Copies of this chain bind each other. A is one copy, B any other.
Amino acid sequence: MVASWWSLYPPMLRSRLFEEAVARLWHDGLISGEMHLGTGEEAIVAGVVTQLRDDDAMALDHRGTSAMFLRGVDPALLLWELLGWPNGLCGGMGGHMHLYSRDHLAASSGIVGAAGPAAAGFALAAQVRQSDAVAVAFFGEGAMNQGMLLESLNLASTWRLPVLFVCKDDSWAITTPSERTRGGLLGDRARGLGVPAVVVDGADAMAVWTAAAAAIDRARRGHGPMFLHAHCVHVEGHFLGYPLLRLVRQPLREVSTIAGPLTRSLLRWHGAPWRERLAGLQEVLAAVWQTLRDPRRARAHDPVWRARQKLCSEPARLKALEDDVNQEINLLLARAMAEVPA
């Protein structure tokens, strides 16, 4: 089976609309705690997950809701879990950072880097059984500084485990620009641990699909792991309510609370010489500016929009498709929210 934009656009759109619905529930206060969405990385998730087989496994990080959804986990169970209802996927015990579906061999973790050992373990089970199932690990570029993930790249290569390591590189780790904390190149890093690496445009679902297909095929044939490095943008920042975006979106409300203490502290007696203080201020402002005018936020980089462009030539078919997806998500929400738990 090969992919086409007609086969890749629907899952991306479904994921986007589903997560936008989740965002509304979160803003309404119906979902508690942090909420890390995958809006902006749909091309990577869809490009990989849509070609997994029933017996393949997935290891996810704190940002796995979209992967679970596209893997075929009942979306109502997902919503109920996020709402913390007893009828949720995990009975309300896990929440979005701890989504588990045994039927799908899919496990999440809020511990950065944990997707590496987990995927290696799923792949180990397949290898011991001498099946040709594979395991996928999804993680961010920040996780590539976490020892357990580096170790598991080496473990997968020495045992030739059927693992696809997918690095969704949004170039941020919460408020830290990752180029400030990374030595070398991630692809070289993977190769130095024995895992061949490919770079792919994470906004191009077709490119991701093609690269992933080759890697998965290779793994099924027993040739070991691959490292897929895909760049993307997280439209909502690290999580919903991301301070740096709030600063940009509601400057009046947010700037005051931050600017006051910052300038007071900057001007306090005793401390570093001016040069160092201003360098520090520069470091803070840089992060804000980078968020404020991140060119990657332009619509042209939105993977869903880009996929849609490929289909504009057939407006009628496109409209029908989008109507279907819209209706599916609306029905889902209506159905899910109707079943308020006892």
Task: Decide: A151 near B150, CB < 8 A? Known: A192-B190, A192-B192, A193-B184.
Answer: yes
Does A154 count as interface, using CB distance less than 8 angstroms? yes
Say whether B194 contacts A192, CB under 8 Å.
Answer: no
Does A145 count as interface, using CB distance less than 8 angstroms? yes
Does A191 count as interface, using CB distance less than 8 angstroms? yes
Q: Which residue of B145, B183, B185, B194 contacts A182 across the interface (Cβ within 8 Å)?
A: B194
Q: How far is the CA of A182 from the CA of B191 in the complex (A)?
A: 12
Does A4 count as interface, using CB distance less than 8 angstroms? no
Q: How far is the CA of A154 from the CA of B143 in the complex (A)?
A: 13
Does A49 count as interface, using CB distance less than 8 angstroms? no
A188 contact set on B, CB distance < 8 A: 188, 191-192
In the complex, which range does the number of interface residues on chain A fall in? 20 to 34
A195 contact set on B, CB distance < 8 A: 183-184
A181 contact set on B, CB distance < 8 A: 154, 158
Q: Which residue of B147, B158, B184 contacts A192 across the interface (Cβ within 8 Å)?
A: B184
Q: How far is the CA of A175 from the CA of B190 in the complex (A)?
A: 27
Does A66 count as interface, using CB distance less than 8 angstroms? no
A157 contact set on B, CB distance < 8 A: 183-184
Does A79 count as interface, using CB distance less than 8 angstroms? no
Known contacts A157-B183, A188-B188; 12 further A-B pairs (Cβ under 8 A): A145-B151, A146-B151, A150-B150, A150-B151, A154-B183, A156-B183, A157-B184, A158-B180, A158-B182, A184-B191, A184-B192, A184-B195
By Cβ-Cβ distance, the 4 closest A-B pairs, closest first, are A183-B194, A147-B147, A157-B183, A189-B192
- What are 23 of the A-B contact pairs (CB < 8 Å)? A145-B154, A146-B151, A147-B147, A150-B150, A150-B151, A153-B183, A154-B181, A154-B182, A154-B184, A157-B183, A157-B184, A158-B180, A158-B182, A184-B191, A184-B192, A184-B193, A184-B194, A184-B195, A188-B191, A188-B192, A189-B193, A190-B192, A192-B192
